[in-house]
Amino acid sequence: MFFHDEPLQYEVEVEEPDPYFAKMLQQAIGGAEGEMRVSLQYMFQAFAVPREKSEYRELLMETAAEELGHIEMLATAVSKNLQGAREEQIEEVRNDPVISAMLEGGQPRQALSAGLHAMPVDSNGTPFSGAMVVASGNLAADMYANVMAESTGRLLATRLYEMTDDPGMNDMLEYLIARDTMHQNQWHAALETMDDHRPVPASFDQEKENQDVNYQFMSTYKDDREDPGRRWTQGASPDGEGDFSFGYQPGNDSPDLDEMIDEMYNEPN
């Protein structure tokens, strides 16, 4: 169950409205690196957590709810960047610099479909897709996915930060960047509380793996080359279950496709 309170999670102010920046902010709402993705990702991951691991469910749900608040902040920022024209400008729509800038370099649907408000889309206007949500049912796998999600989210926020000189927008982004720092660290911390989580899933019997290649870095170069002596080609593996080695892909035969070609009637006769 969720409860909503009127105040924003963090104050959002815009001193110089910028329709183009409003379009860029849409990526942080409905893009692959955006808040809609992580809020739903953490929520659906939490749904799969068993009762005996309730501390992880609480961690995920708390963060999912926080991310919903970030969507509200960003949507407010989009609206304020779009609706900042003076009243006399709004009345003269044809000459309105806000509308003009939106149509020329911004997102027209923010005006045409949403009446100068945010939408559940990315910066190109592509609708948000649940296909971006990672919720595997395996806690370790999901935590690794969450580290990646927060890393790319923080990267996006820092890029947005460099795109604006508006003090209010910089202040909001400084807050969001800081929360991405925390979230990255909390997912790493959660992984540290899990025993034997590498490789994922750790519960699969590794004796069933091909023991010749399960810790071998495979070169795809056509010509033979020496082991480059990298951390991932020599020494103990991070899971402590093997030693890295260097080798090549085992296959050397061409696939026999004659029978399949015949069955697909690919020949002209």
Residue 117 shares a structural domain with residue 36:
yes
- What is the C-alpha separation between 18 and 86, in angstroms, rounded? 13
Residue 156 shares a structural domain with residue 217:
no
Strands 245-248 and 216-219, sheet pairing: parallel
Residue 187 shares a structural domain with residue 215:
no
Q: With cut-offs at 50, 70 and 90, classify the pLDDT of residue 5.
A: confident
- pLDDT of 94 over the 50 cut: no
Domain count along the chain: 2
Q: Identify the pLDDT of residue 261.
A: 72
> Please, where are the H alpha helices in 193-229?
none
What is the tens place of the pLDDT at every residue in 19-51?
Answer: 889 989 999 999 999 999 999 999 999 999 999
Residue 198 within any structural domain of the chain: no
Q: What is the mean pLDDT of residues 136-140?
A: 95
Q: At CA 63, angle to CA 128 and CA 7, rounded to 5?
A: 85
Domain boundary residue, one of 192, 225, 243: 192
Lowest mean pLDDT of 146-160, 194-208, 230-244, name the range.
194-208
Residue 142 shares a structural domain with residue 243:
no
Q: Identify the pLDDT of residue 93.
A: 47
Neighbours of 241 (CB within 10 A): 14
Beta bridge partners of 121: 127
CATH number at residue 152: 1.20.1260.10
Residue 88 within any structural domain of the chain: yes
Domain span at residue 162 reads 19-192
Q: What are phi and psi of 236, to 5 degrees?
A: -70, 140
Residue 228 shares a structural domain with residue 153:
no
Q: What is the mean pLDDT of residues 131-158?
A: 97
Q: Identify the pLDDT of residue 113.
A: 63
Residue 177 shares a structural domain with residue 215:
no
